[in-house]
Amino acid sequence: MEIDRPATNGDGAGAAEEMDLERPFLRRSSSGSRRRRTAGETPLGSPSRRPSFRQEMGHAAAETYLITRLTLILLRYLGVGSRWITKFLALGFYALLLMPGFIQVGYYYFFSNQVRRSVIYGEQPRNRLDLYLPINGSTPKPVVAFVTGGAWIIGYKAWGALLGRRLAERDVIVACIDYRNFPQGTISDMIKDASQGISFICNNIVDYGGDPNRIHLMGQSAGAHIAACALVDQALREHQGENTSWSMSQIKTYFGLSGGQVFKYNLFDLVDHVHRRGLYRSIFLSIMEGEQSLQRFSPELTVQDQSFHPAIICLPQIILFHGTGDYSIPSTASENFATALRSVGAQVKLILYEGKTHTDLFLQDPLRGGRDDLLEDVVAVIHAGDAVALAKDTTAPKARRLVPEWQLKLAREISPF
């Protein structure tokens, strides 16, 4: 079913060497036995042991060093061509125009008691996640595991702060998963990190007031691609009887927002598209582990492979959101993915938002305040079947505007995304 929405007003040294360019996406070997934490065990990132101010400052300094170092490595790939300089300047002006909102969200992120930052879920430097907790914790809450976007290069868990805040206000716990970006890692590393983050959430979210049987997976832009890859990989593993650290039965929905879930059969068309958008061909192919791997890391092509068909039954319901005005990742990406999923019998719904761009749905609209169509659509799915939550949704106060309208409109015009 397609729904058209009208437009509304309103780490350390040597990290790069950790890349393994030969690892397949759909691995057939066992990943180890599933192990649920028993009563009395202390989980990683236990809510009872919040880090001290000194520890947080040390962690912030380490992350700053890591990001600076990776930026310098990335610059060696980018060079200083005119296209890169233009994109960089556009990004700077874009961020400046939205700064009033970013400051307010940043204050919430760093000082709210409802945010648990940098909870450790694995051994890699970027294996951290942020938790956004509702104020009312009297009953177990539904959970959204969110994988942020960032062109596989500049993704960071804090990019999900605005979404986390909005959903937490609607009694939903949000876990924003960080993962290794290029050049610290390639697509295999990103998928592995995302899956490990999902595993931590499935096995530990009860300690933060979450319901481990009401978990929804969501990804935005490149994060939608990474999350979809992790999802189909897990479905295949479970169908083949492998022991895994989390269960697909815990994932109720996959939400794909403005995702690049599909790599076209004509691979050169995609490479040329992202090259024109500023993600140079050499970088893109390095991220995806070479041209020969593009098909392997395409969820659309994976679900159409006959060897995957028996695993379709393991997939949760899939809901794809996309703006028809998205020129970074055209809405045809989600349309084609939805068509492929329907052709093999998966449960899928496609919701299109008329005229919305790549950043409208995730940034400009939430910063505008008032009714947010995407948020309402997501919450309606999460709260389906919960009469009490649905009743509260009907009386939920409208979100406050964070950025003046003229700044939002100008930011929309100069957005490099």
Sign of CA dihedral 277, 282, 287, 289: positive
Cα 41 from chain centroid?
29
d(C-alpha 392, C-alpha 379), whole Å: 11
pLDDT given for residue 91 in this prediction: 81
322 an active-site residue? no
Q: Which of 92, 102, 70, 149 is nearest to 328 (CA)?
A: 149
Cα 391 from chain centroid?
28
Token pair for 89: 């300047």
Q: Which of 298, 358, 372, 383 is catalytic?
A: 358
> Model's pTM, two decimal places?
0.81
399: DSSP letter: B
Q: Which of 195, 199, 221, 334 is catalytic?
A: 221
Q: How many CB atoms lie within 10 A of CB 409?
A: 13
Q: Which of 193, 326, 360, 377 is catalytic?
A: 326
pLDDT given for residue 82 in this prediction: 63
221 an active-site residue? yes
326 an active-site residue? yes
pLDDT given for residue 16 in this prediction: 38
pLDDT given for residue 182 in this prediction: 85
User: Residue-wise pLDDT tens for the chain (417 aa)?
Assistant: 555 555 544 444 343 333 333 333 333 333 344 444 433 343 444 454 556 667 666 666 766 666 666 555 555 555 545 666 777 788 889 999 999 999 999 999 999 999 999 999 999 889 999 999 999 878 899 999 999 998 888 889 999 999 999 999 999 999 999 999 888 889 999 999 999 999 999 999 999 999 999 999 999 998 999 999 999 999 999 988 888 899 999 999 999 998 865 543 223 345 555 555 555 667 777 788 777 778 788 888 888 888 898 999 999 999 999 999 998 888 888 898 899 899 999 999 999 999 999 999 999 999 999 999 999 999 999 999 899 999 999 999 989 999 999 999 999 998 877
What one-letter code names the amino acid at 234? Q
User: Would you list the DSSP string of 171-210?
Assistant: T-EEEEEP-PPTTT--HHHHHHHHHHHHHHHHHHGGGGTE
How buried is 285 (Cβ within 10 angstroms: 0-12 exposed, 13-18 middle, 19+ buried)?
middle
